[in-house]
Amino acid sequence: MIEQHRTLQQGIGLIIEILKSSQINTEKILQGLEQFKKDLNKHLKLENEVFYVELLKEMKNKEQDTTRTEQFINEMDDIAKVVVAFLEKYKDTESIKEKIDEFKKEFSDIGSALTLRIESEEAGVYGYWGLF
């Protein structure tokens, strides 16, 4: 899953580089977003359908209080919803081109939110796995 995080971060980095260009290529941005969306969906599926399910199951089997972990998972899910909504909003070149300044700001915010999620998971719940 950490490798998937690095792939997601690379995808964001590629789009950031495109946005730095004096001539912004919205087709390349869209291609980057589409690949990012595929990578994100793959990661969220693994995380939500396997990792978190198994982690909570093991914690409960060991009679651990899962309240904070479940709260953390819900917070991570909220971040995912924001990212998915962004990807839906900018799903074609026209939507990117028409609102490029808004796109840049929102993309920066999305990058920050995703970085927070990745750092939180890697410093938090991923470490729990080794305990069970």
Helices (H), 21-66: 26-46, 52-61
Rounded-to-integer distance, Cα 46 and Cα 54, Å: 11
Helix 100-123 / helix 2-20 crossing angle, nearest 10 deg = 160
User: pLDDT confidence of 57, banded at 50, 70, 90?
Assistant: very high
* pLDDT(129) > 80: no
pLDDT (tens digit, 9 = 90+) per residue, 20-47? 998 999 999 999 999 999 999 999 999 9
Model pLDDT, residue 132: 62
pLDDT (tens digit, 9 = 90+) per residue, 70-126? 999 999 899 999 999 999 999 999 999 999 999 999 999 999 888 888 988 888 777
Print the domain residue range for 33. Answer: 2-129
Model pLDDT, residue 124: 78
Instruction: Name the more confident of 67 and 2.
Output: 67
Model pLDDT, residue 14: 94
Residue bearing tokens 């995380």: 47
Q: What distances in angstroms separate CA 111 from CA 11, 51, 106, one per listed residue?
A: 10, 23, 9
Rounded-to-integer distance, Cα 120 and Cα 114, Å: 10
Q: How many domains are contained in the chain?
A: 1
Residue 25's SS3 state is: coil
Model pLDDT, residue 78: 92
pTM score: 0.88
Q: How buried is 93 (Cβ within 10 angstroms: 0-12 exposed, 13-18 middle, 19+ buried)?
A: middle
Q: Pick from 125, 108, 85: which is nearest to 2 by CA?
A: 125
